[in-house]
Structure 1
Amino acid sequence: MTSSIVRVARPRKFDETTRSALIRDAAEQILAGGVESVSLRPLAAKHGCSTTAIYTMFGSRDALIAAVREEAVQSYRLAQGSAIADRAPLANLLEMGRASRTWALAYPELYHVMLGRGEAWARTVAEESSARQREYIVEAMRPMNELIRLGIREGSFHDVPVSRIGATLWTGVHGWIAIEMTRPVIPDPEVDADAAYDQHVTALLRAWHVDTPLEHRP
């Protein structure tokens, strides 16, 4: 009598690299067609697993979508945090500006999700609680605002509301990055893009420096 051994395939184990890749791919789906377009089948096929495996990893489709948002903000904050060292607030803000650009160009899908870019994604954001969306932006801006507050306290910046300085830096930095992701900010190919960006961020910081007079209008 011949016996046969039935071999049962072991379930594939997914590491943090696979999890991050799934999040980035889900971010691409969101940008292309909004949250409603997120489909686990193409994600599973791309990564050679079953939809059940994705459910096991994230818990649900909605949890995967939430993970995309959380990953975007946390990854961005990690990049900012790594730029902060034992130096003056203005120098740290310049390094943070550099880190923001480097991160955005390396992870464009997460960057767009964090800022709510893309027509389909913007529609989705508009349908959500505005309070919840503000939480994401406040969280992303927190490290920058903390340095601005420190700069005011140490006398580097004018004593004005942190939100005023923060709005200038945030829109200036991300306006540049948003343009650069689709076309050259400065068309001249002989101009060093890194140096030009540094000059831009330095000018934004100088605008609020105590040595720069504030323009008062009635």
Structure 2
Amino acid sequence: MVNSRSRQTNSAMRAQLIEAGIELLETDGPESLQARRVAAAAGASTMAVYTHFGGMTELLGAIVAEAFARFGAALSAVAPSADPVADFFVMGYAYRRYALDNPQRYRLMFGLATPSEPPATTHDFTAAPVTDAIGAETFEQLVTVVDRMIAAERIRADPIRDVAARLWSLIHGIVLLDLSGSFGAEDRAITQILIPATVDILVGMGADRTHIESSLTRAAETIFGRAD
């Protein structure tokens, strides 16, 4: 009973430190991710970081892992429909929305923020399914929807993981430029850049433009509750 209570207490403190780190990151930027500041925000002593994580490197890794878990939940919030291309567009919308709502978190997730001891991981997601890398499950979600698009003969049957990587690279690059303000305001990034570029790459992979437009309409109905 004592051990069980102790484990629950440890788990609760770990969760508090991770949450405090995420909140500090968003409000004060990556430079705020210091043991003293994170512990204080969690209502604990600095020693708690070392007791529960071993140090800031491990805590940073846990913050990134939690950020990716929430990212994955955002991408999978809508159940798959009969139209895999529409589902892909819904996922793309959720991807951009998560990044815009959590810009510092998004940058840290992809190694673009610079805390004092950033966690480093390198994996080739295109070679085979990766299960031991932070964020791998989010790439696998994209692989799944690409697999469905190919199985439905909506796009050319190139290697699935390569196609997923191409689409990820396109979306990620545009989102980063969007975060920097490169495309102005009023959602120009999505209406004038991201959607047209995505349609073009899918058409280049054999999709019928008219069918893609229909899928876009269905995606808008899912996202906004109406055709947009």
Q: Equivalent residues in 2 for 1:1-218 (5 A)?
A: 19-25=18-24, 31-32=30-31, 38-54=33-49, 58-61=52-55, 62-118=57-113, 120=114, 124=118, 128=120, 130-131=122-123, 135-136=133-134, 138-185=136-183, 187=184, 192-196=188-192, 197-211=194-208
Output one character per residue of 1:48-81: Cα deviation in whole Å (capped at 9) or x when no partner: 432245556x443244222112112211111111
Q: Assess if the C-alpha contact under 8 Å between 1:24 and 1:68 holds in 2.
A: no
* Structure-1 separation of matches of 2:97 and 2:73: 12
Aligned to 2:223: none
Spell out structure 1 runs of 4+ moving beyond 6 A.
Answer: 27-30
**Structure 2: stretches of 5+ with no match in the other structure:** 1-8, 210-228
- Alignment partner of 2:61: what SS? helix
Output one character per residue of 1:185-206: Cα deviation in whole Å (capped at 9) or x when no partner: 2x4x577444333333333333
Q: Name the aligned partner's letter for residue 105 of structure 1.
A: L
Q: Assess if the C-alpha contact under 8 Å between 2:154 and 2:206 holds in 1.
A: yes
Q: Name the aligned partner's letter for residue 104 of structure 2.
A: E
**Structure 1: stretches of 5+ with no match in the other structure:** 1-10, 213-218
**What percent identity do the matched residue pairs reach?**
22
Provide the TM-score with structure 2 as the length reference: 0.66
Q: Assess if the C-alpha contact under 8 Å between 2:25 and 2:105 holds in 1.
A: no
Alpha-carbon RMSD across the aligned residues, in angstroms, is 3.7
Q: Assess if the C-alpha contact under 8 Å between 2:69 and 2:135 holds in 1.
A: no
* Structure-2 separation of matches of 1:45 and 1:124: 20
Q: How many residues align?
A: 191
Structure number, greater radius of gyration: 1
